Structure 1
Amino acid sequence: MAAPPSPRSFLKHRISIKPLSPHHRHDDLLNLNDLMVVADFDKGGRTVTWAPSFMQWTRQDVFHVATHHWLPSVCGACLLFFMGVEYTLSMVPPLSPPFDFGFIATRPLHRLLSSSPDLNTFLAFLNTMFVGMQTTYILWTWLIEGRPRATISALFMFTCRGILGYSTQLPVPEGFLGSGVDFPVGNVSFFLFFSGHVAGSVIASLDMRRVRRQELAWLFDALNVLQVIRLLGTRGHYTIDLAAGLGAGVLFDGLAGKYEERRKMGVKDKKGEVGIPDGHGERK
């Protein structure tokens, strides 16, 4: 087998780049004096070259991205917009209450609950019932149905929430409306970041969709939306707590799935079904 050519001998030759788009001219050639090109050698000693992707874009390519990949395009526009907002926005002074758009949007509900303690207590009771539904379902999937993924996800989630909540202890929002029947029951202290109420509901909803309980999943999603509105109205959580709870539910459900896959691979490995030989006739 012939040895691959040296990089020095390779640099003496002109490099041809095959265009990805049919709109490019066939005789387009790029020289090392014009563009830095990454080169490598395949197993047969032949040179394989790449040019930067953006050098091969056409107007048709840009139009295709904008029309067929509109969501990343919108996110790109939002990136530029919020960069301008972030760098020109006056920050909240240390002694001022935090700015929270969710609190602004729920001012009418906050005024209503402030003037109606009985209504606030009733809604808190309903929210506690919903938390009980989440907990019951998550434990049911493990103890009755033998599917531990939702339970593992909840354990991962609450462990992370405890670490983050203790690491950065946020001040209680101004105007917080507590209730003796709210969860945690009795107006005890609680971590603000992130919302375990929202994350637990997302974990349950995702599990329901995995086993085709679509109607129940949509019910939990609707109740979760009402829960978010109520938590904002009572100033029980900042908006960022609720958004992070949504992401945490999705994240830890995925991590629990990865954990189950790794455990199954480990069980198969012990039975000799899968594994990588370690050179001594055994598999690890």
Structure 2
Amino acid sequence: MSTPLRRRSNNNNNNSLNGNHTNGNGTNLMEIKKTNGIANGDGGKNKAPCMTWTARDVAYVARHHWIPCLFAVGVLFFTGVEYTLQMVPPSSQPFDIGFVATRSLHRVLANSPDLNTVLAALNTVFVAMQTTYIVWAWLMEGRPRPTISACFMFTCRGLLGYSTQLPLPQEFLGSGVDFPVGNVSFFLFYSGHVAGSMIASLDMRRMQRFRLAMVFDILNVLQSIRLLGTRGHYTIDLAVGLGAGILFDSLAGKYEEMTKRHSLTNGFSLVSKDDSLVN
């Protein structure tokens, strides 16, 4: 059960923030409040909820709803940061905290080209694993949701990546065996590596393939660290890629539900006749 946004009194006669309640005699408490308001000369207008809060109510919210309270503190903190942070001048490279955190890894890879090549090849193998699973789910298992998610995701990535083209970091360590293979140009924003892996991982969880999903998540974290170390992506690319995977997986699920409701009986289906669109 969800925790109410306000503490309840011991006699359970206090009304919550939402909804109407009755007292022990079955009388609607909201009607009582309105009547009392008219009697008190305020024209029947109730006080704003915050005007009725006590110190115990505030303590209750802080104790039982600490997650939104923590985010509220974050809003205040970053509001201060936004008003005091000095912007990076146009002549400088973008500041990236992920690049700062992976300086030592970048030095190792810069001094060991062979190691960089091996890690790049492993990354390409991981991308092939993602692609194989996503296509397999559709063609062999009759579940097109991961494929639809990937199509949505990569199309949106192409539009955004072309609309605002971020500069390639000066310290970028490329490799001919990295994906995209051959050191060809690619969109930085957002990370298709991370988003594709997230789409596959979410589908694995729906199918209760939890161990395989955990393997993909671990590999996703490792590839993210490598991408920061090689300066192949900015931190924001990876963070948005994670969110994009979740978003487009959800949109693909809604698309499946919509097509299931409105599909024609004799029309062509992306799934096998024995399988349901929604898992």
Give the 3 Å change call, closer, same or farther, for CA 65–142 of structure 1 in structure 2.
same
The question of whether the paired residues in 1 share the 8 Å contact of 2:37 and 2:44 is answered with no
Alpha-carbon offset, residue 267 of structure 1:
2.3
The question of whether the paired residues in 2 share the 8 Å contact of 1:162 and 1:191 is answered with yes
Distance (whole Å) between structure 2 residues aligned to residue 35 and residue 55 of structure 1: 17
Alpha-carbon offset, residue 20 of structure 1:
2.0
The question of whether the paired residues in 2 share the 8 Å contact of 1:195 and 1:242 is answered with yes
Q: How many residues of Structure 1 are paired with residues of Structure 2 in the alignment? A: 240
The question of whether the paired residues in 2 share the 8 Å contact of 1:177 and 1:236 is answered with yes
The question of whether the paired residues in 2 share the 8 Å contact of 1:124 and 1:179 is answered with yes
SS in 1 for 2:177: coil
1:17-166 matches, within 5 Å, as 20=15, 29-30=36-37, 37=45, 52-166=48-162
| Alignment match, 2:223 | 227
| Max Rg structure | 1
Distance (whole Å) between structure 2 residues aligned to residue 165 and residue 240 of structure 1: 13
Q: Deviations over 1:151-170 (max 9, x none)?
A: 00000000100000000001
Q: Give % identity.
A: 67
Distance (whole Å) between structure 2 residues aligned to residue 27 and residue 143 of structure 1: 62
Distance (whole Å) between structure 2 residues aligned to residue 199 and residue 138 of structure 1: 12
| Alignment match, 2:4 | none
Gaps of at least 5 residues in structure 1 are: 1-17, 38-49, 272-284
After TM superposition, the runs of 4+ consecutive aligned structure 1 residues lying more than 6 A away are 268-271
| Alignment match, 1:11 | none
Gaps of at least 5 residues in structure 2 are: 1-12, 22-31, 268-279
Give the 3 Å change call, closer, same or farther, for CA 119–36 of structure 1 in structure 2.
farther
238, 243, 260: which is aligned to 1:242?
Answer: 238
CA-atom RMSD, angstroms?
A: 2.5
257, 260, 263: which is aligned to 2:256?
Answer: 260
Letter of the 1:154 counterpart: A
Letter of the 1:246 counterpart: L
| Alignment match, 1:10 | none
- 1:170 and 2:166 matched: yes
Point out which structure has higher relative CO (alpha carbons under 8 A, 6+ apart): 2
Letter of the 1:245 counterpart: G
Distance (whole Å) between structure 1 residues aligned to residue 107 and residue 41 of structure 2: 70
Q: Deviations over 1:218-248 (max 9, x none)?
A: 0000000001000000000000000000000
190, 199, 202: which is aligned to 1:203?
Answer: 199
Letter of the 1:259 counterpart: Y
